[in-house]
Structure 1
Amino acid sequence: MKTLNLLIIFLSELAVIGSVAIWGFTLGTGWALRLLAGIGGPALMIALWSLFGAPDAAHKVHGATRAVFETGWFGAGAVALALAGYAAPALVLAVVMTLSKCLAVTWHQ
């Protein structure tokens, strides 16, 4: 079960990046802004995760700071998906991410 949970966490990380891309590409503005948001948004999320969230992050955060960071980072993915018009998948993503992270904390992953 613990290995499966790590897989779910990894897939959730990818889902966040994909959700931000979907949000960016579905903005109702001109194509230039959609392109910028659709590529730049995921790039920003990847940069933030690599700096603060990844196992080998240069400035890995711990404790309460980590909880705040992950809530914001994973939450941004769910919100982006909802803003793109996919409310039900956003809710599923939020629930799965929350349960998986709670198990990770319980299992010291």
Structure 2
Amino acid sequence: MTVLKGANLALMFLLELGVLAGAAIWGFTLDANLIVRIIAGIGVPAVFVVVWALFAAGGGKNARYPLTGPWRALLEIVWFGGAAVLIGFACTALGGIVFFALWAINGALRLLWHQA
């Protein structure tokens, strides 16, 4: 069971990286001029990073203003859901759906196993 719990935490980390990658890909592939694409490709992931750092970093232990309970759940839904939408726009709708489904399964297992 310990291996599965560790794998679930590793998946959470990969999903967090996926949020940043999805936001960057969306920004860099916008149908706009080069300057807008560069600003969006760097700026949107930066906004995601700032939000996560302020409210959820390290399972809330390293966050400046840690959220818990339903507020943490809402943040994760918006954060990972927003990334799923951006992945859907930048790649395929199925990619966004799969990303969100992986997060939902990961979140359910984190709740079941009392992981941060």
TM over 0.5: yes
For residues 1-109 of structure 1, the aligned pairs below 5 Å read 1-55=4-58, 56-109=62-115
- Identity score, percent: 39
Displacement, 1:2? 0.5
Please list every run of 5 or more consecutive structure 2 residues that lacks an aligned counterpart in the other structure: none
- Kindly report the root-mean-square deviation, in angstroms, between the aligned alpha carbons of the 2 structures: 0.8
1:13-69 deviation digits (Å, cap 9, x = unpaired): 000010000000011011111111000001110111111011211101001110100
The runs of at least 4 aligned residues of structure 1 exceeding 6 Å deviation read none
Letter in 1 for 2:96: A
Please list every run of 5 or more consecutive structure 1 residues that lacks an aligned counterpart in the other structure: none
Letter in 1 for 2:34: W
The structure, 1 or 2, with the larger RCO (C-alpha pairs under 8 Å, 6+ apart) is 1
Distance 1:68 1:51 in 2: 15
Distance 2:6 2:111 in 1: 14
